[in-house]
Amino acid sequence: RGNVNHDNRRFGLYMDSQYPRNLDRDDNGFVRSGCPEFMDNGTDNGVVPASAVEDEFDYHNMFVGVYGAGDVSFVRYVSLNNAHSFYWKASKNFADGVSHHFIDGILAQNPKDAYGSLQFFGPSGPFTFRFTNMTFLGGPVGEAALCAGQHCGRLGAGGPCDVEYLLENVDWTRLQPRQKRIKFGANALSFGSVQPIFLATDSASLGGYRAMVSQHLNG
């Protein structure tokens, strides 16, 4: 909560791989059980309620993010003039059924600062990526402001690539003019540019549309 990372040659915030689970520990803190992804009855063993990274502020870093993470919510995250606004390869649906992967955050790029690029490289996999009450500011944008499926199909990334990005109350109005908002696939294999889908619960998040699919799905 409330961490600040800045001017790092590689990562600012870097959580590597984090999938918190419902562990059973003894009085000395040693784990007795609870490590598997699923419980014996087949239900998701992700921690409930979800873990949260709150009020994180990152600026002037090359990378910010996590390789793989599930049942972790980023709340009021702020990115300013990083080379990558965020970098995330793989994730999952929340075990608690209510949390958001990102909520109430700001992704910004000051055009007067020569360092950085406004580009969020998001995860892929068989799940719904919830992106709620997020604001994009400034520019210029890199590959796109919001890219679905970082490294999909490559080693260590989520797959299959048919992730659903569910956008709610996403504000694009303060981006620089003529900036690309979304992109299917980011540094992914070819099918990573085909399989993701963007959905919106409101009329503003996707420019009046409620769903967008890849241009390659034209048959």
Look at residue 54 in the predicted model and tell me its pLDDT: 98
Tell me how far apart the alpha carbons of residues 144 and 179 are, in angstroms, rounded to a whole number: 8
Tell me how far apart the alpha carbons of residues 201 and 204 are, in angstroms, rounded to a whole number: 9
Tokens, residue 122: 């998001």
Say yes or no to pLDDT of 219 above 80. Answer: no
Give the residue from 169, 31, 187, 166 showing the smallest Cα distance to 91.
166
Helix (H) or strand (E) holding 33: strand 31-33
Look at residue 124 in the predicted model and tell me its pLDDT: 95
Look at residue 157 in the predicted model and tell me its pLDDT: 87
Q: pLDDT tens-digit profile of 19-40?
A: 999 999 999 999 999 999 999 9
pLDDT confidence bin for 206, thresholds 50/70/90: very high
Q: pLDDT tens-digit profile of 66-115?
A: 999 999 999 999 999 999 999 999 999 999 999 999 999 999 999 999 99
Average pLDDT over residues 185-200: 94
Average pLDDT over residues 53-60: 98
Return phi, psi of residue 82, to 5°: -95, 155
Average pLDDT over residues 201-210: 96
Q: What is the largest CA-CA distance in the chain?
A: 60
Q: How many helices (H) and strands (E) does the chain have?
A: 0, 22
Look at residue 130 in the predicted model and tell me its pLDDT: 98
User: Nearest 10 degrees: CA dihedral of 170, 20, 79, 5?
Assistant: 170
Say yes or no to pLDDT of 174 above 90. Answer: yes
Dihedral sign, Cα of residue 17, residue 21, residue 23, residue 28:
positive
Average pLDDT over residues 161-189: 96
pTM to 2 decimal places: 0.95
Q: How far is CA 114 from CA 139, 141, 197, in A?
A: 11, 13, 32
Do 47 and 20 meet the contact criterion of CB atoms below 8 Å apart?
A: yes
Look at residue 145 in the predicted model and tell me its pLDDT: 98
- How far is CA 29 from its chain centroid? 32
Q: pLDDT tens-digit profile of 105-149?
A: 999 999 999 999 999 999 999 999 999 999 999 999 999 999 999
Say yes or no to pLDDT of 160 above 90. Answer: no
